[in-house]
Structure 1
Amino acid sequence: MISFFEASLAQLSIHRVGNKLQDEFYVLSEAPVPKLDETLNKLLMQYFLSPYEKVNERYRLHHSSGDLNLNEVYHFVSAIFEQPENFHQNSEQLAKYLYDVSNHPKIKSGELYVALFKDLQLDGELLDAIGIFKSETKETYLKVYPEQSGFGLSYEQEAINISKLDKGCLIFNTEKEQGYQVAVIDQTNRNTEAVYWKDDFLKLKIRNDNYNQTQQVLGVYKSFVTNKLDSEFEVSKADKIDLLNKSINYFKEKEQFDLEEFSKEVIGNEQGIASFLDYKKSFEEEFETPVDDSFAISDAAVKKQSRVYKSILKLDKNFHVYIHGRKELVEKGFDDDKGMNFYKLYFKEEA
């Protein structure tokens, strides 16, 4: 969990980064932003940090060669942590590097903010952190002000909505040898051109903590049920929903995940278990991401994944049946006279 009740903004530099392919350039400020008044400081803290209160995923900076020092962001961030007096010079290098990787024609130009925070709370520990944020979306705001005869109206164009952070990351000064702990926001351009922020600029790798382990297993299992089972077994949609419900219930009821226990309690079929284990192994090899056989379950990850686990059985365009459990109360059949499939539902009371 990330909170900023005790945090302070120690240093801030602002630059502008254009799109190289559009013949735009970068503009570097000559010095960091002077000391801010209390109101502006609070607004910036809200703009930069409030989106992270609901961010649970953690990443690490990495480099494909295995040498972290070849990751440019890691290099400049480490220099700031080691010598804060050189903060502005390294913020300029970060802006130049972001410009170098902004090589997709749809990448938007915008202001780059590099900030040094003191006493940001990460999972109960107070840490220094470096924030790198980019504002790309501008909006128009109306201003209403009193006049002698009533009220007047004006507007301001190309303004920034402090409730909408476009792109950002917080890099916490902990676990340096593994690539720090990193939290990321990317609200705009979630298509192919957006990979430059996470992949090309930051070069992130998922951090293998309980949250990500829980989310990963649930994601792999959901993909197995929805995409893989049909190719090996005859499984009805109702059966698939039942398998998904069982998995979510397992994670809600248990504190610790155990692969063997999960396979027996949720899948319960030797052929199905073997197929799932093969699917899990293929996932690990394809994405070079190990999926642990045992770990503490993260309630936050279960809550998030529950939202994308569908329990709706759609029948033509006439009916949607919500199945939350007890598959034995749903019976499928075929009516020869009508030449149509049917489902029979058993219940005690009608709500």
Structure 2
Amino acid sequence: MIYFPEAILSETSIHRIGNQAQDEFYVLSEQSMDIQDEQLKNLLMRYFLGPFEKVNEIYRFFHPNEDLNLNEAFHFVSQIFDDGTKFHENSQQLAKFLYGISSHPKIKAGELYVCYFENVQIEGEVHDAIGIFKSETKEAYLKVSPEQAGFALSYEQEAVNINKLDKGCLIFNTEKEEGYKVAVIDQTNKSAEAVYWKDDFLKLKVRNDNYNQTSNVMGVYKNFVTEKLDQEYDITKADKIDLLNRSMKYFKEKESFDLEEFSQEVIGNEEGIASFKNFKKNYEDEFDTAIADSFDISGAAVKKQARAFKSVLKLDKNFHIYIHGNKELIEKGFDEDKSMNYYKVYFKEEE
């Protein structure tokens, strides 16, 4: 959903956020960083953006009073998007605001990074994005370096592991009136002190529009067919492809999704339907994401998801069979003489 092969890190500001309850303070840098080292830039891109490749849920800024301008993070981010010269000034305001709500005694102190990215792709579209990240966990790292006839060993006590982003969000410069598109990461346990990042600092709500609903239910169904069915049934790859093709046909031809209708038309087996509904519920519980039983289908989401619905049956390295229609026209068997599996394909004419 989020890709960044052509992304550019154009500006970065770093501040230190303490914990009020621990009588710690915040420290603001006087200006943004001028990073010239390309290797360092690449490491930062990997640290900041890498974890978002697996993020599926998209959020929006909101405010309980339904006035987006009362959302502090939304306000400061909008100032940056409207006038890039105010980037560092507003990064300082974001740091002050985060410090102001960091009052729980268990909230860890850490560095706050505010970054401006160009050319980040989300849902097939390229936009500029503002990243807000916080590093809380520090680790010790050994450093080995050549020395005379051997090696020297030293360590870095309070270092940041670039493979472990504690907290972060990406705000994309699109759909401002609806609260932007926002992706968020919080690796801290979902305890009372942890949710301050998403709920108190950013004030986010799940984007529960037709695009998101369509994308989610198609993704859940695909995972159900490709991963779950093998655990419960003896099912061939051809049958799996047929189930995926039937679901794609449903989403392309229907204007709205109805869970009961979809289950009967696509799965058509009561035991399989019950298994799918249970799989869907487990997904909702695990990712704290509700998928409605009915909604209008988003054509853009169907087009996007269609790329992942593969209808290719790969047979060793010799053949690929593309299955697009009636699965009754393909039969699987086993040749005793050759001790090999085979498929028999029926057709009227070559094209």
Normalised by the shorter chain, which TM-score bucket?
A: 0.5 to 0.7
The structural deviation recorded for 1:250 is 6.9
Q: 2:33 — aligned with what?
A: 33
The structural deviation recorded for 1:148 is 1.7
Q: 1:148 — aligned with what?
A: 148
Give the superposed CA RMSD. 3.7
Q: CA 1:156–1:65 in 2, change beyond 3 Å: closer, same or farther?
A: same
The structural deviation recorded for 1:19 is 1.4
Structure 1 residue ranges, 4+ long, deviating more than 6 angstroms after superposition: 216-219, 249-252, 266-269, 287-290
The structural deviation recorded for 1:290 is 6.2
Conserved 8 A contact 2:7-2:120: yes
Conserved 8 A contact 1:206-1:212: no
Q: 2:118 — aligned with what?
A: 118
Q: 1:67 — aligned with what?
A: 67
- Which whole-Å deviations, capped at 9, do the CAs of 1:287-339 have from their partners, x for residues lacking one? 99966434266859x99xxxxxxxxxxxxxxxxxxxxxxxxxxxxxxxxxxxx
Distance 1:42 1:250 in 2: 42
The structural deviation recorded for 1:263 is 5.6
- Which whole-Å deviations, capped at 9, do the CAs of 1:54-107 have from their partners, x for residues lacking one? 212111111111111111111000000001101111001101111111122211
Q: 2:173 — aligned with what?
A: 173
**Superposed, which structure 2 residues align to 1:247-266 within 5 Å?**
253-255=246-248, 256=250, 258-259=257-258, 260-262=260-262, 264=264
Between 50-59 and 173-182, the greater mean CA deviation after superposition: 50-59
| 1:293 and 2:322 matched | no
TM-score normalised per structure 2: 0.67
The structural deviation recorded for 1:212 is 4.3
TM-score normalised per structure 1: 0.67
Conserved 8 A contact 1:170-1:184: yes
For the residue of structure 2 that corresponds to 1:201, the secondary structure is helix
The structural deviation recorded for 1:142 is 0.5
What letter matches 2:247 in structure 1?
K
For the residue of structure 1 that corresponds to 2:64, the secondary structure is coil
Gaps of 5+ in 2: 221-231, 234-241, 252-256, 310-351
Residue identity (%): 58
Distance 2:48 2:219 in 1: 31
Conserved 8 A contact 2:117-2:129: yes
Distance 2:158 2:173 in 1: 34
Q: CA 1:217–1:199 in 2, change beyond 3 Å: closer, same or farther?
A: farther
Distance 1:264 1:91 in 2: 52
Distance 2:54 2:219 in 1: 20
For the residue of structure 2 that corresponds to 1:117, the secondary structure is strand
What letter matches 1:145 in structure 2?
S
| 1:78 and 2:78 matched | yes
The structural deviation recorded for 1:200 is 0.8
Conserved 8 A contact 2:172-2:181: yes
What letter matches 1:178 in structure 2?
E
| 1:20 and 2:13 matched | no
The structural deviation recorded for 1:179 is 0.4
Q: CA 1:98–1:216 in 2, change beyond 3 Å: closer, same or farther?
A: farther
The structural deviation recorded for 1:190 is 2.6
The structural deviation recorded for 1:199 is 0.8
**Superposed, which structure 2 residues align to 1:167-316 within 5 Å?**
167-207=167-207, 208-213=209-214, 215=216, 253-255=246-248, 256=250, 258-259=257-258, 260-262=260-262, 264=264, 292-295=294-297
- The aligned length equals 274
- Which whole-Å deviations, capped at 9, do the CAs of 1:82-139 have from their partners, x for residues lacking one? 0110111100110111111112221111000001111112233221110000000101
- Which whole-Å deviations, capped at 9, do the CAs of 1:271-294 have from their partners, x for residues lacking one? x99xx9xxx9xx9xxx99966434
Q: 2:95 — aligned with what?
A: 95
Q: 2:43 — aligned with what?
A: 43
Distance 2:97 2:144 in 1: 41
Conserved 8 A contact 1:250-1:262: no
